[in-house]
Amino acid sequence: MTELANHYDVVIVGAGPVGLTLANILGLQGVRTLVVEERDTLIDYPRGVGLDDESLRTFQSIGLVAAILPHTVPNQILRFYDGKRRLLAEMSPADARFGWPKRNGFVQPMVDAQLLAGLDRFDHVQVAWGVRMDSAAQTADGVTVDLGPDTVQATYLVGCDGGRSATRHLMGVSFDGTTSATRWVVIDLANDPLGHPNSEVGADPDRPYASISIAHGIRRFEFMIHPDETDEQAEDPAFMARLLAPFVAHPERVEVIRQRVYTHHSRIAGAFRAGRLLLAGDAAHLMPVWQGQGYNSGIRDAANLGWKLAAVVNGQAADRLLDSYDVERRKHARAMIDLSTMVGRVISPTNRRVAAVRDRLIRGASVVPALKRYVLEMRFKPMPRYDQGAIHHPKPPSPTSPVGTLFIQPRVDTRERCDVLLDDVIGPGFAVLCWNNNPRAVLGADAFGQWKTLGATFVAARPQTQLHWDADDEPADPDVVIVGDRTGALKAWFDGHAESVLVIRPDRCIAGADIAQRAPELSAALFEVLHVTRKGGDDADSPVLYVAQPAAESSGAVAGTA
C-alpha cells in the first residue's frame, strides 16, 4: 500500500475524470493533495463518449490537451432519424468561440489515463489505489479521514466518488430527482463495424437506439429494452445480434468490449458543500446520456471548484469563497439535467401516434431557418451564466452585461509568439484584459499592485496593426502582455459590449467588467466578492499581502440551502 503522509491540504475521494482533473488543477497551484480510489486501477472501458469545448479548454488550462487530443474525434456530427431512417435533425456546430470544437467523440479510458499521468508532474500530489474511505469527521480546523488502516488529516475533502457517493452520505444531504423505469442496453464494439466518423440517434417507436463513433475504432450502440424483456435476455449474445442486425452486416462477428443494462437518472444533491466536505461530478448530480453532458458537467465542477480551493488553501481568499461553488454550479447542472431529460423524452416514445406527431413538429421546425440554426448550432445548450457568486454585476443590472459568462478564446499574436490561443497567453490565474488601454494606467497603482500580488496577468488587447507600436515616451511595460487581434474576434466581441476592462477568473468566467474609467472601483468590488482581504499600509509602492480569514469564521453553509 502507498505510504501516506499525516496531513494534506485536500483529500479527493475517487480517481475518475473529475477527481483527476481537480487534482491536476490543485497540483499546478502547489496544493498538497491526496487522491484515494477503492479500485486498484482506472476503469478500462468507455463510459462517457462525448467531450465538449469547455472540457477541452479545461484540459488546455492544466497543460494536458495535447496528450488528450489524439483520443478524440473533433467536430463530430450527430444526426437524428425517425423510425424509417429518415433525417429529422442534425447537430453540426461549426462555432469554436472557446478555442475548441463543440462536439468531440473520445475514448474515456485513454483520456483518463492522460489525466492520471499528468499528476506525475507533482511531488505534492499522491494517488492511493485500493484505498477506501471508511469515514470522515470534521473538526474546527480540518477533516479527519479514516482510510482503513490509516488516518490522515486534511483541510478539505472533496467527494468525486460517483452516484453512490459515500461522501454525500457522510454529509447527510439528499439526492433529489428521479430514476427512469426504462432500461437500455449499451454495447461497445472494437473494430468499428460501420467505420464512419459520426453518430446517430434513432427515434424509432419500435425500439429507440443510438449509434456513436468514439475513436480508435470503437463504436457504441445503445438500445431501449422493452418491459417484457429481462436483463438476462438483454445480455444474451443472440439477443444482441438481433439488435445489431439492422445496422451491421455480420452481427455474429462483432468484437464486444462491454455489454450491460442501465437506467437513466436525473438527480442533484441537496447541497454541494457542508463545511469542509464538498461534492463534484456524479456525486453531486446525475443526468441522462442524451446530451453527453454527465462527463462534461463534472469537468465544469472541477474547473469551478479547483481555483477556489487553491486560493483558500494558499491563503489568498477566505473560506467563504467556497460557498460560491454551490451557488454557481447548481443552476447550470440543473439546467443540463432538465435538457438531457427532455431530449430523452423526445427520443423515447414507443407509441406510434405520439412519435408521428413529434416527427411532424420537428420537420416543421426544420423549414424555419432560425429554428434550424438553433438546432444545428446547438444554441439550445445552456451556457454557464452566473447571477450570483464570485462575480460582481453592475448596478443597476444590465441585460447585456457579460459578467458571469465565459470569455471567448480566439487565436492571437503577442510580440514573442504568433497564432496562439488566448488562454495560453493568460496562463492559469486571473487576468485583467483591456481593449485599447494599458491595464496599469486604467487600474491605477494600488489596484494594479493588488492584482499583481494575486498573480494576475495583465493583457492589453489591440488591433493587429498596433501590435508592435509603442509611444516614444512610453517604453514597453514588462508587466503587461501586448496582444494583437489576429482574427478580429476580440474587436468583434468588444464591438458588442460597452465594457472595455474585463477581469477574467482562472476558470475563464468574466468576474467583472466595466468601462475603463471605473476600473479601480471594479477591482475594489471584486476583492470583496472574492473574499480577499488586504493587509498592510495604503502606500501604493509598498508590498500588498492578501491573507485568508480563519476558516472558523465561515459557517460552511451553502447559500440558499441552510
- CA atoms within 13 Å, Cβ hemisphere of 482: 15
Q: Is 415 annotated as ligand-binding?
A: no
The answer to whether the annotation marks 36 as part of a ligand binding site is yes
19 is in an annotated binding site: yes
CA distance 509 to 18: 19
- 404 assigned ligand-binding residue: no
Compute the 3-state secondary structure of the chain and give helix, strand, coil in percent, each to the nearest 5: 35, 25, 40
Residue 282 marked in a binding site? yes
275 annotated ligand binder: yes
**Is there a binding annotation on residue 361?**
no
198 is an annotated ligand-binding site residue: no
To 10 degrees, the CA torsion angle through 222, 226, 227, 232? -60
280 among the known binding-site residues? Answer: yes
Task: Give the Cβ contact number of residue 469 at 10 Å.
Answer: 9
Residue 18 assigned to a binding site: yes
Q: Is 425 annotated as a binding residue?
A: no
Confirm whether residue 33 is marked as ligand binding.
yes
Greatest Cα pair distance, the chain, in angstroms, is 83
Judge whether 405 and 98 are in contact, CB under 8 Å.
Answer: no
Asked if residue 298 belongs to a known ligand binding site, the reply is no
- Side-chain half-sphere exposure of 206, counting CA atoms within 13 A: 7
Task: Say whether 37 counts as a known binding-site residue.
Answer: yes
Alpha helices (H) along 62-150: 65-68, 108-118
Identify whether the C-beta of residue 130 lies closer than 8 Å to the C-beta of residue 38.
yes
4 is in an annotated binding site: no
Provide CB contacts within 8 A for 513, sequence distance 6+. Answer: 394, 401, 402, 403, 497, 499, 501, 502, 503, 522
Query: Does 35 count as an annotated binding residue?
Result: yes
In terms of Cα–Cα distance, which of 168, 165, 164, 144 is closest to 156?
Answer: 144
29 is in an annotated binding site: yes
Tell me: is residue 279 an annotated ligand-binding position. yes
What number of other Cβ atoms are within 10 A of residue 522's Cβ?
A: 26
At a CB cut-off of 8 Å and minimum separation 6, what does 475 contact?
none
User: Is 23 known as a binding-site position?
Assistant: yes
21 is in an annotated binding site: yes
In the β-sheet with 285-286, what is the strand arrangement from edge to edge? Answer: 87-91, 78-81, 199-202, 209-213, 219-225, 175-190, 255-269, 285-286
Which is nearest to 206 in space by CA: 290, 86, 289, 84? 84
Q: Say whether 111 counts as a known binding-site residue.
A: no
Handedness of CA 259, 260, 264, 268 (dihedral sign): negative
Looking at residue 406, the DSSP 8-state letter turns out to be B
Q: Is 30 annotated as a binding residue?
A: yes
Q: Give CA angle at 139 (138, 140), nearest 5°.
A: 130
Q: What are phi and psi of 18, to 5 degrees?
A: -70, -50
Residue 363 annotated as lining a ligand binding site: no
- For residue 182, give the 3-state DSSP assignment: strand
Question: Is 194 labeled as ligand-binding?
Answer: no
Residue 20 in marked binding region: yes
Is 412 annotated as belonging to a binding site?
no
Q: 250 to each of 208, 221, 465, how far by Cα in Å? A: 21, 15, 60
Residues belonging to the binding site for FAD are 9-38, 272-282
Residues belonging to the binding site are 9-38, 272-282
